[in-house]
A = this chain, B = another copy of it.
Amino acid sequence: MAVSDSDDLLKSALARVQDEVDRAFDAYLPVPSDSRARLVEAMRHATIGGGKRVRPLLVVAVADLYRVDRSAAVAAGCAVEAIHSYSLIHDDLPCMDDDELRHGKPTVHRAFDEATAVLAGDALHALAFDILTQSDVSSDPFVRSELVSVLARASGHEGMAGGQMMDMAADEEDYDLHQVTRLQQLKTGALLGASVEMGAILGRVPPEGRAHLRAYARDIGLAFQIADDLLDVEGDEALAGKALRKDGEQGKATFVTLMGAEKAREQARALVDQAIGHVAGHGSDARLLEALARFVIERDR
């Protein structure tokens, strides 16, 4: 497939998922007429009209391999995105990264206030599991329970939250490449891995049949993070829609500080090739996953 076809395929797939996810959150989050309105407005601010929607696209793209009903895959994708969104709200808080800008908009604690931001994150966290146990995700309770299990494990202390803790300790710990890799596998990789697993669970693929998808997710997860570290050094803040140059200011070990920019770029490319290899067995069905793998290192935001 020519690169421009791959580009078009990805662009239209992203645009479609972005639209579907926006509509779904709009439906999940009607604004109540009492004083909870502020909470729901904050949840909407964080979830509607922002973000690349890479995780929902991963769920949908993998589910597509197994001909899963589209609306079920979008719902599961929204659950992952709700978790991703809550983690961004909390990471942006003054006591964490203290960021003012996210997806080109004020962060939730800036647009509302800190207490509302904490609560909006918590409520989105609960919403994720609420979504996954609705029957429109799957009529099979085993599938629903498996989806919850994978997402809860990936986001908790043995996954994303654990990675965030390692990241917070990075200033004092002087991590080596092995530790930075482990940190990123937890902080970013766990949720990307959960996204592909959830697509496969919807497709009723047993755990042993998901190994190649997990390997794909692991590779694009690391490539994604290397690209993020490169973006932090070389990117354009206006395009990125968030503050950059933060790692350097904080003297943090990243793939770029540990490997150098050129070697990091090579490594990211190698990981993408490897990721594409893992899904090659799906033939032309895997075109979207291939395009997505290339996208993670070519994006400018």
Contacts and interface: CB of A to CB of B under 8 A. Distances in A.
Contacts of A140: 141
Interface stretch (A53-61, A146-154, A207-215): A146-154
A294 to B, nearest CB: 31
Contact of A36 (B95, B121, B162): B162
A127 interface: yes
Contact of A162 (B113, B116, B123): B123
Interface stretch (A19-27, A163-171, A235-243, A263-271): A163-171
Nearest to A113: B95
Interface stretch (A67-75, A128-136, A216-224, A279-287): A128-136
Contacts of A123: 156-157, 161-162
A96 B115 contact: yes
Contacts of A113: 95
Contact of A165 (B39, B145, B173): B39
Given A95-B115, A141-B142, A149 B130 contact: yes
A127 B157 contact: yes
Nearest to A28: B157
A40 interface: yes
Contact of A39 (B38, B93, B161, B173): B161
A151 to B, nearest CB: 8
A43 interface: yes
A122 interface: yes
A161 B126 contact: yes
Contacts of A118: 90, 93, 95-96, 118
A133 B151 CA distance: 11
B130 A156 contact: yes
A14 interface: no
Given A95-B114, A141-B142, A148-B133, A90 B122 contact: yes
Contacts of A168: 115-116, 119
A225 interface: no
- Of A123, A155, A169, chain B has the most CB atoms within 10 Å of the CB of A123
Contacts of A32: 162
A125 interface: yes
A121 B156 CA distance: 10
A81 to B, nearest CB: 16
Contacts of A162: 32, 36, 39, 123
22 contacts: A32-B162, A34-B166, A35-B166, A35-B173, A36-B157, A38-B169, A39-B162, A40-B157, A90-B122, A93-B118, A96-B118, A116-B165, A118-B118, A123-B156, A125-B125, A125-B126, A126-B157, A129-B149, A130-B153, A133-B146, A141-B145, A145-B148
**4 tightest A-B contacts by CB?**
A126-B156, A95-B114, A133-B149, A129-B152
